[in-house]
Amino acid sequence: MTKTISTLLLVLGLFLANDAWAQKTPQVSAQINKSAEDTVLIGDWINLVLEAEFESSLRLDWPPINETVGEFEVVELGSIDTLAKGEVIKLKQEVIIAAFDSGFYEIPPFEFIYANKEKNQVAGKITTQVMSLPVFSLSINPEEDIRAIKDPLDIPLTFREKMMYVLMGLGLLLLLLALYFIIKRLMYPKEEVEKEPEIILPPHEIAFEKLKSLENERVWQRGQVKRYYSELTDIVREYIENRYHIPALEMTSDEIITRLRKENVSKKICNKLRDMLSMADLVKFAKSKPGVDVNTQSLIDADVFIRKTRELEKMIEEVEEAEQ
């Protein structure tokens, strides 16, 4: 019985041992990229590289790095790069540090804590080795010329900086263009071009030109009788509006005749105009089809009306001038 219990305990111990060692311990390191011959001076940038390699079944907590590493100041903190290859994960981070006083400094160990993902429990921790690094002050020879410790770093411009210079250049260009046009305007003022006075034809001349154009178009000869009378009456009504300043285009034929009689237009002339307007109304509203002689006579009546009323206006002007 005792032998059986011992055997079971042995088997259990081996099982636990295999489970504990089934997962490899993570490999971590902290190194400085410099050779043994390199001398570190005050203000030199030191490239510190942290690396870790572990199985994907583990979770590794990266050591926090703030503004300092021991007595060194952190100049630039790089991001943690991840590389997965099969079941192995590699992490790497570069940190630039610098010391601003001479002395013998130590870079403290970095502690990495790792845990089992499935069991969600801490499996252990591992630390890097302590590194010692001497920092020397600059040796000065008073007989030599003063010169920079190191050549200036050529840092490329960022996209935002490039855009800032582009916008500044465009703004300067626009300012120069504005100054150029202002100076040009002050030195060479724009000469005002005198507009030629607009020639306004008297109402009867406008009417005669439109009657001539209507006659040359030969509208009714091409079967467009309604259009012919519409344009003919519009010419006469427009003339009456401009000549007597009455809204003839909006008035009926009878209203026009009544108003012209008040303007001392003779009854004979008004009758001729009435005949032409009545024929136009018959064509437009009663679809009448007058003969060739009627169409020709309507154009003649319109021409006579304009000439007679123009002669009357001329006589009135002559009388007014004689009285003056």
DSSP helix/strand/coil, 215: helix
Mean pLDDT over 155-176 rounds to 86
| 239 and 288 housed in the same domain | yes
Q: Is residue 175 part of a domain?
A: yes
Q: How many domains does the chain have?
A: 3
| 183 and 207 housed in the same domain | no
Give Cα 206 distance to the centre of its chain: 52
Tens digit of pLDDT for each residue in 12-67?
444 444 444 446 889 999 998 876 567 888 888 899 999 999 898 888 889 999 88
Mean pLDDT over 55-84 rounds to 89
| 123 and 168 housed in the same domain | no
Tens digit of pLDDT for each residue in 240-297?
999 889 998 899 988 988 988 888 888 888 888 888 888 888 888 888 888 888 888 9
Q: How many CB atoms lie within 10 A of CB 310?
A: 18
For residue 20, the model assigns a pLDDT of 42
| 81 and 176 housed in the same domain | no
| 245 and 302 housed in the same domain | yes
Residue ranges making up the domain that contains 208? 203-323
Judged against a pLDDT cut of 60, whether residue 117 lies above it is answered with: yes
Q: Is residue 4 part of a domain?
A: no
| 116 and 30 housed in the same domain | yes
| 89 and 124 housed in the same domain | yes
**pTM of the predicted structure, to 2 decimals:** 0.40
| 208 and 168 housed in the same domain | no
Indicate the length of the chain as a whole number. Answer: 324
Q: Is residue 196 part of a domain?
A: no
| 163 and 62 housed in the same domain | no
